């Protein structure tokens, strides 16, 4: 399981955009965005670099591992 902090998460649209993008990454089995904690939890075998790239592609520039 990988957890990332994305400070720009603020609403349901953010949650949908990130979950939609990250779920398309090969190897991702589950993705969950928590708006309150501004975190993205990813389960599966996808490489971290691919997950971060998907979050950035969704429009969120600051992504840090937790």
What's 41's domain CATH number? 3.30.70.100
Number of domains in the chain: 1
* Rounded Cα distance, 58 and 56, in Å: 5
Contact 28, 4 (CB under 8 A): no
Q: Residue 48 — very low, low, confident or very high, per pLDDT cuts 50/70/90?
A: very high
Mean per-residue pLDDT for 49-63?
96
Distances (CA, A) of 28 to 10, 13, 36, 48, 51: 23, 20, 23, 10, 8
pLDDT (average), residues 48-56:
97
Residue 21 belongs to domain spanning: 2-65
The three-state DSSP-derived secondary structure of the chain is CEEEECCCCCCHHHHHHHHHHHCCCCCEEEEEEECCCCEEEEEECCCHHHHHHHHHHCCCCCCEEC
Q: pTM for this one? A: 0.94
């Amino acid at each position: 399981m990988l957890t990332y902090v994305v400070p720009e998460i603020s609403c349901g649209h953010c949650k949908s955009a990130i979950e939609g993008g990250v779920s398309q990454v090969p190897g991702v089995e589950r993705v969950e965005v928590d708006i309150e904690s501004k975190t993205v939890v990813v389960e599966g075998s996808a490489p971290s670099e691919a997950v971060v790239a998907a979050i950035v592609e969704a429009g969120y520039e600051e992504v840090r591992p937790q």
